[in-house]
Amino acid sequence: MASDVTSIDHGAHGEAAAFIDTWHAREPEMAIAQVFCPRPLRLRFALWGALLMQWREAALELSDPRPTHVKCMWWAEEAAACAQATMRHPLTIALAKPDLPWPILAHAMASMADADTSRPPDRMAAMERVAPLADAIATLESALFDIQVNDSMRRAVAVHLLGERLRIGRENAEGGLLPLSLLARHGLLAAELSTAKGVPAHRDWAAELARALPEHLAQGCLYRRMRGDFDAWRLQEMAAGKTRPLPPFRALFRAWRCARRIPAAC
C-alpha cells in the first residue's frame, strides 16, 4: 500500500500524498482496506477517499456557517474547473479525471453552501438535508469505478455523512445534527446535547442510522462496500455507548470479507 501512495511524492502530487496521509489518519480502517483493491486502482481508491473527506468537512463538519459557505463555494468552483480540465486542488490534479460528471458536484456544493442550518424534524429530513451531496458522491463514485449508481449507494453515502457528523458533533452544542424527534423523545434542550444528558439521544441516533444502512450494497464498488461495512460497525459501537477505534486486525478481517465478495473490482 505504501508504495502506491508514495509513488506520487513529487510536485503537486506530493501535496496530494499529504492529503492522503491525513485521510488515513482520520480513517485508518480504509488505509487497511486499500490493500485489497487491485494494485492498478489503489491510488485512485486513496485519492477518492481523501477527496470525500475534504467534501464532507467543507459541507458538514465546520461549526460556523460562514466558512462552510466559503469552502463549499470553493469546491463548487473547483468541480466546474475539473469539468474543463483546469483543476487546482492537488487531489483533483492527481486524480486527473475531467470526464467524470463534475457538474453534479458543483450543484451539490452550491446547494450545501446555503443549506438550512435549523435542526431537522426527523431522520427522513436529516437524510434529505445531505441528499444533494450524497447523490453527487454516489454518481461520481459510480463513474470513477465503472459501476451503475443505485439507491442503495445513495443511502449508504447519506448515512456515512450523517454518521461522521454525529461522530464529530457529539461533544459540542450542535450535537451531531440530531433531529428534533429525538430531543422530544428524551425531553432534551439542544444545549443539553453536549452534556451527559445527551448521551442516550446520541446512542439512539446512532442506532437509527445503523438501521438505515442498506444491508447489502447491490452492485456497489469495493470502496463503498468497505466504507459501508465499517460504518455499520462504528454506528453499532456508538449505539452501545462505545468510542473505541476499530482494532487493526478486525479491520483487516472485515476488509478481507468485503473483498472476497467482489474480488475483481475496486
Q: 3-class DSSP state for residue 219?
A: coil
For 178, the domain range is 58-261
Domain membership flag for residue 5: no
Domain membership flag for residue 37: no
Number of structural domains the chain divides into: 1
Residue type, 82: C
Domain membership flag for residue 164: yes
d(CA 240, CA 254): 20
Domain membership flag for residue 48: no
**Side-chain-facing half-sphere of 41: CA atoms under 13 Å:** 18
Domain membership flag for residue 8: no
**What are the pLDDT digits (tens) for 73-84?**
999 999 999 999
- pLDDT for the residue 260: 83
Domain membership flag for residue 224: yes
Per residue of the chain (266 residues), give pLDDT as tens: 343 444 444 444 688 999 999 999 999 999 999 999 999 999 999 999 999 999 999 999 887 889 999 999 999 999 999 999 999 999 999 999 999 999 999 999 999 998 888 899 999 999 999 999 999 999 999 999 999 889 999 999 999 999 999 988 766 656 678 999 999 999 999 889 888 899 999 999 999 999 999 977 766 789 999 999 999 999 999 999 988 889 999 999 999 988 887 655 56
Here the cell at position 165 is 457528523
Domain membership flag for residue 88: yes
- pLDDT for the residue 264: 52
DSSP for residue 215: S
Q: 3-class DSSP state for residue 150?
A: coil
Integer-rounded Cα radius of gyration of the chain: 18
- pLDDT for the residue 266: 66
d(CA 106, CA 83): 10
- pLDDT for the residue 154: 94
d(CA 176, CA 179): 9
Instruction: Please name the residues in contact with 91: beta carbons below 8 A apart, sequence gap of 6 or more.
Output: 16, 19, 47, 50, 51, 54
Domain membership flag for residue 93: yes
For residue 170, give the nearest of 141, 142, 139, 192 by alpha carbon.
192
Here the cell at position 209 is 442510522
- pLDDT for the residue 261: 74
Burial of 197 (0-12, 13-18, 19+ CB in 10 A): middle
Helices marked H in the chain:
2-6, 11-26, 28-33, 42-60, 65-83, 90-95, 102-113, 123-144, 151-169, 180-186, 199-212, 222-239, 248-261
Q: How many CB atoms lie within 10 A of CB 157?
A: 26
Here the cell at position 196 is 451527559
- pLDDT for the residue 169: 75
Burial 36-62 (b: 16+ CB within 10 A, else e): bbeeebbbbbbbbbbbbbbbbebbbbe
**Side-chain-facing half-sphere of 91: CA atoms under 13 Å:** 21
120 touches 126 (CB < 8 A): yes
